[in-house]
């Protein structure tokens, strides 16, 4: 159903998809992790590949990881949005970008729970400019599908699309409140809703499936807690990432250290080359850093309190 609804809309509209006052199809595909939301996206991609129309399909994700998993780009990159605190800064528009967006007939946004109201409103405004259509949502893009699970991560420093206003409206500027409310009303227009319920990823693992369901519903048991504690890292632990071990940590510094260790261990076990990508600009000043400064960054690691470029390890 999640694929058939937009496919039927495509068949119905045919060559009239890009008409100036044509209808639009707004759809939300939800469900807990592992129920096949990504498979829906890949099925849509297969349809456009068979029709030799991949250039009219745009897959985006709320984060780099979400975008990579579906073979797309980040929503910010696709719409050329920049960050300025809690608001989104709109950058200049090129004619090439306008032409590319005017060819788009199908937009997918994955991990929509991580997209805040301000970002969602900025995407809408941006697409109206890109497509020279100020009167229709998203500039008249014929089909927009949002995928994600609102039980998962919330937006960073913004308010979820599920709420009509921020939790602290008294501390928000009037224009911020108005922008979020507009995004909330736009989200309510996604009236075609498909909720996936069959667990695919954990289908063969009854214990994991049960734990995930209880965690999602806030019904964790004492036994769940004991089992989780049994997986905690300690000084006696000797975790090996050689076979793809996963780790969970609440601290960004630990995440950076674990990622580096994981890439090194896995690459050695698999005989793979390791590449280290270092951002070549200073986040604060916008100036390139010298070799010595880059070496210090590599040696020190990741710290959000320092204006240093990001590091990405890949094997």
CA distance 295 to 285: 18
Q: Count CA atoms closer than 13 A to 65's CA, side-chain side.
A: 3
Q: What is the pLDDT along the chain (315 residues), one digit of tens a residue?
A: 889 999 898 888 776 776 667 789 999 999 988 888 999 999 999 999 998 999 999 999 998 888 888 999 999 989 888 754 444 455 567 788 888 999 999 999 999 999 999 999 999 999 999 999 999 999 999 999 999 999 988 998 899 999 998 888 778 888 889 999 999 999 999 999 999 988 888 888 889 889 888 988 889 999 999 998 888 877 676 777 776 677 777 777 777 778 888 888 889 888 999 998 776 655 555 566 677 877 777 777 666 666 666 777 888
Whose CA is closest to 129, among 156, 97, 168?
97
- pLDDT at position 87 is 46
Long-range contact list for 43-48, CB < 8 A, 24+ apart? 43/3, 44/3, 44/6, 44/106, 44/108, 44/145, 45/70, 45/71, 47/3, 47/7, 48/106
- pLDDT at position 86 is 42
Residues constituting the chain? 315
- pLDDT at position 301 is 67
CB within 8 Å of 128: residues ≥ 6 apart = 134, 136, 138, 139
**pLDDT tens column, 256-301:** 778 888 888 889 888 999 998 776 655 555 566 677 877 777 777 6
| Domain assignments of the chain as residue spans, ordered by start | 4-195, 242-315
- pTM: predicted TM-score of the whole model, two decimal places: 0.77
CB within 8 Å of 57: residues ≥ 6 apart = 44, 45, 48, 104, 105, 106, 108
State the DSSP code for 197.
-
Going by DSSP bridges, is the β-strand pair 275-278/311-314 parallel, antiparallel, or unpaired?
Answer: antiparallel
Cα separations in angstroms, 177 against 62, 81, 118: 22, 20, 9
Give the CA-trace dihedral at 225, 156, 124, 197, to 10 degrees: 0
- pLDDT at position 81 is 84
Q: Coil, strand or helix: which one is 15?
A: helix
**pLDDT tens column, 101-123:** 999 999 999 999 999 999 999 99
The CATH topology of domain 4-195 is Rossmann fold (3.40.50)
Give the CA-trace dihedral at 212, 217, 219, 221, to 10 degrees: 10
- pLDDT at position 312 is 79
């Amino acid at each position: 159903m999640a694929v058939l609804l937009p496919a039927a809309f495509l068949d119905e509209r045919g060559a009239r998809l890009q008409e100036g006052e044509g209808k639009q199809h707004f759809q939300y595909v939800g469900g807990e992790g592992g129920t096949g939301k990504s498979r829906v996206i890949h099925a849509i991609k297969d349809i456009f590949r068979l029709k030799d129309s991949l250039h009219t399909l745009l897959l985006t994700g709320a984060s780099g990881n979400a975008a990579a998993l579906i073979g797309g780009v980040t929503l910010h990159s696709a719409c050329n949005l920049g960050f300025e605190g809690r608001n989104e800064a709109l950058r200049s528009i090129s004619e090439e970008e306008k032409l590319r967006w005017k060819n788009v007939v199908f937009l997918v946004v994955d991990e929509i729970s991580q997209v805040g109201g301000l970002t969602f409103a900025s995407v809408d405004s941006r697409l109206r400019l890109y497509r020279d259509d100020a009167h229709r949502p998203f500039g008249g893009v014929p089909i927009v599908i949002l995928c994600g699970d609102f039980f998962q991560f919330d937006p960073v420093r913004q308010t979820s699309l599920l709420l009509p206003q921020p939790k602290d409206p008294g501390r928000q500027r009037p224009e911020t409140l108005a922008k979020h409310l507009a995004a909330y009303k736009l989200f309510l227009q996604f009236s075609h809703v498909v909720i996936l319920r069959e667990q695919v990823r954990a289908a063969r693992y009854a214990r994991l499936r049960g734990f995930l369901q209880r965690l999602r519903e806030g019904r964790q048991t004492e036994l769940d807690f004991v089992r989780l504690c049994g997986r905690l890292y300690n000084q006696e632990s000797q975790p090996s990432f050689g076979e793809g071990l996963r780790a969970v940590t609440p601290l960004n510094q630990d995440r950076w250290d674990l990622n580096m260790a994981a890439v090194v261990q896995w690459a050695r076990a698999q005989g793979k080359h390791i590449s280290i990508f270092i951002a070549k600009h200073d986040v604060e000043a916008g100036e390139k850093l010298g070799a010595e400064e880059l070496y210090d960054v590599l040696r020190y690691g990741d710290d959000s309190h320092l204006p240093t470029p990001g590091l990405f390890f890949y094997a």
